[in-house]
């Protein structure tokens, strides 16, 4: 047993273990997600995070030790964000067909997401760091995390909040849109993509390809819009509160 | 048995060649993505723009693709492969909630309410504004169409 403990201490100190753990936790989570027939509530990222957190706390491994290995995966977020240019380029023809309505919906929806999230949080009197981490929550995760990091928020809190936003949007969008009697699939998809990024987009693709394509467009445009608006808008809101 | 062997011998060389070129394309595409990220980070830091470097890199690559659409085919397979596993890339940061949880203790309810209210409003406002503008566009098209003849 002590030998096993020593072995664990040795392995836990190398980057290898953090990386291996991340990949296996993700594969297990993907398996559960598939078993749950891709129900947004069985979100693979949340499950994988829970699995890794459980192992780390049971073995008393600090996050820093884990991250030494996991950073190789984390590093790929940058090039993956740049890679979002390709789906956006492919969706350009759809944008051209209805440029004005989509731009109007994007600006209104994105500003609503940012302002209402920060306003409600500030009414409750949360800390400045939490407000910054919450502001970009409707943007796609890599962009939202980069914004939070750049403005002094907690990227890891942002990551979890963005994913919870996506899950909530994916689960509740049908009800919200039905209450408002929105029937057009392109409008339903676009709203889902703007408000709840990739998880909403995955949900939209389950309904139809057309809805999914417009959701993907909404996700891409809102990621860009949020990246330019939050750094300008947020300091103004924070100053106004102080 | 003999037949199987013959098939393998006939299939292997072209597969190998193809595999090699795919790998090469993947490396080149990855290098291009990293290069655009470097440009983005450089511009973001150098010009003191508060926009994250990778997002500027995204826009620069997008502009490059508009100018040279022929580049799309060489970058797209690698880019899509990277994006296919995008959610894996959130796991290391997500686990960081372990270390960050202490800083937001007691704010759970506020965060949950903000999240639910804001996401509901964002879906509703995006949908209502987009639909209203689409209907206006259709009405205008109907009004303008006959006058063109």
Q: Which residues have a Cβ under 8 Å from the Cβ of B87 and sit 6 or more positions away?
A: A26, A44, A45, A141, A198
Q: Kindly state whether B71 is in contact with chain A, defined as any CB-CB distance less than 8 angstroms.
A: no
Q: Is the Cα dihedral A7, A9, A13, A16 positive or negative?
A: positive
Q: Which residues have a Cβ under 8 Å from the Cβ of A42 and sit 6 or more positions away?
A: A32, A33, A35, A36
Q: Kindly state whether A88 is in contact with chain B, defined as any CB-CB distance less than 8 angstroms.
A: yes
Dihedral angle at the C-alpha atoms of A177, A134, B116, A173, nearest 10 degrees? 20
Q: Which residues have a Cβ under 8 Å from the Cβ of B144 and sit 6 or more positions away?
A: none
B119 to A126: CB separation less than 8 angstroms, yes or no: no
Q: Kindly state whether B86 is in contact with chain A, defined as any CB-CB distance less than 8 angstroms.
A: yes
Please give the share of chain B, as a percent, with pLDDT higher than 70. Answer: 81
Q: Does pTM surpass 0.80?
A: yes
Q: What pLDDT is recorded for position B83?
A: 85
Q: Kindly state whether A99 is in contact with chain B, defined as any CB-CB distance less than 8 angstroms.
A: no
Lowest model confidence (mean pLDDT) among A113-117, A166-170, B6-10, B87-91: B6-10
Q: What pLDDT is recorded for position A152?
A: 92
Kindly provide the b/e burial profile for residues A87-111, where b requires at least 16 CB atoms within 10 angstroms of the residue's own CB. bbbbbeebbeebeebbbbbbbbbbb
Q: What pLDDT is recorded for position A195?
A: 95
Q: Which residues of B touch A145 (CB under 8 A)?
A: 90, 93
Which residue among B36, B55, B117 sits closest to A120, beta carbon to beta carbon?
A: B117
Q: Which residues of B touch A152 (CB under 8 A)?
A: none
Confidence of residue A118 (pLDDT cuts 50, 70, 90): very high
The Cα–Cα gap between B53 and B38 comes to: 8
**Of A14, A111, A216, A194, nearest to B86 (Cα)?**
A216
Q: Kindly state whether A148 is in contact with chain B, defined as any CB-CB distance less than 8 angstroms.
A: no
Q: What pLDDT is recorded for position B2?
A: 44
The Cα–Cα gap between B95 and A227 comes to: 24
Query: Does residue B20 surpass a pLDDT of 90?
Result: no
- The complex's ipTM works out to 0.89
Q: Which of residues 166-205 of A touch B (CB under 8 A)?
A: 168-169, 172-173, 176-177, 180, 182, 184, 187-188, 190-192, 194-196, 198
CB pairs under 8 A between A and B: 322
Query: Does residue B5 surpass a pLDDT of 70?
Result: no
Confidence of residue B22 (pLDDT cuts 50, 70, 90): low
The Cα–Cα gap between A85 and A20 comes to: 30
3-state DSSP call for residue A144?
helix
Query: Does residue A9 surpass a pLDDT of 90?
Result: no
Nearest-Cα residue of chain A relative to residue B125: A109
Please give the share of chain A, as a percent, with pLDDT higher than 90. Answer: 67
Query: Does residue B145 surpass a pLDDT of 80?
Result: no
Asked if A75 and B88 touch (Cβ cutoff 8 Å), the reply is no
pLDDT tens per residue across span A97-114: 889 999 999 999 999 999
Distance (Å) from the alpha carbon of A76 to chain B's nearest alpha carbon: 7
Distance (Å) from the alpha carbon of B147 to chain A's nearest alpha carbon: 22
Which residue among B62, B89, B127 sits closest to A85, beta carbon to beta carbon?
A: B62
pLDDT tens per residue across span A179-205: 999 999 999 999 999 999 988 898 898
Q: Is B103 left (phi over 0), alpha (psi -120 to 50) or beta?
A: alpha
Length of chain B: 149
B126 to A218: CB separation less than 8 angstroms, yes or no: yes
């Amino acid at each position: 047993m002590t030998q096993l403990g020593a072995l664990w201490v040795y392995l836990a100190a190398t980057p290898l273990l953090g990386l291996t753990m991340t990949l296996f936790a993700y594969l297990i989570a993907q398996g559960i997600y598939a078993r749950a027939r891709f129900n947004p509530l069985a979100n693979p990222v949340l499950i994988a995070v829970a699995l890794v957190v459980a192992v780390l706390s049971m073995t008393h491994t600090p996050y820093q030790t884990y991250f030494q290995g996991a950073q190789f995966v984390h590093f790929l977020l940058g090039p993956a964000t740049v890679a979002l240019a390709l789906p956006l380029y492919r969706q350009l023809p759809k944008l051209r067909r209805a440029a004005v309505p989509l731009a109007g919906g994007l600006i209104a929806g994105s500003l609503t997401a940012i302002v209402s999230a920060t306003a409600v949080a500030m009414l409750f009197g949360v800390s400045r760091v939490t407000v910054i981490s919450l502001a970009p929550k409707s943007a796609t995760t890599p962009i939202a995390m980069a914004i939070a990091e750049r403005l002094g928020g907690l990227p890891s809190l942002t990551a979890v909040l963005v994913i919870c936003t996506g899950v909530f949007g994916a689960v509740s969008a049908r009800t919200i849109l039905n209450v408002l009697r929105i029937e057009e699939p392109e409008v339903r998809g676009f709203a889902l993509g703007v408000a709840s990024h990739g998880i909403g987009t995955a949900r939209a693709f389950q309904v139809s390809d057309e809805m999914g394509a417009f959701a993907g467009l909404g996700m891409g445009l809102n990621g860009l819009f949020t990246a330019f608006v939050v750094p300008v808008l947020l300091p103004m809101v924070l100053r106004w509160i102080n | 048995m003999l037949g199987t062997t013959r098939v393998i011998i006939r299939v292997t060389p072209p597969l190998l060649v193809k595999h090699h070129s795919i790998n090469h394309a993947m490396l080149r595409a990855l290098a291009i993505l990293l290069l655009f990220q470097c440009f983005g980070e450089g511009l973001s830091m150098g010009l003191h723009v508060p926009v994250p470097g990778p997002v500027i890199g995204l826009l620069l690559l997008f502009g490059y693709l508009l100018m040279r659409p022929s580049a799309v085919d060489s970058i797209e397979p690698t880019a899509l492969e990277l994006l296919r596993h995008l959610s894996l890339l959130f796991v290391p940061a997500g686990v960081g909630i372990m270390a960050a949880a202490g800083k937001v203790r007691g704010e759970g309810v506020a965060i949950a309410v903000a999240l639910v209210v804001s996401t509901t409003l964002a879906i509703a406002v995006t949908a209502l504004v987009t639909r209203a503008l689409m209907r206006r566009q259709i009405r205008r098209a109907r009004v303008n169409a006959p006058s063109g003849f």
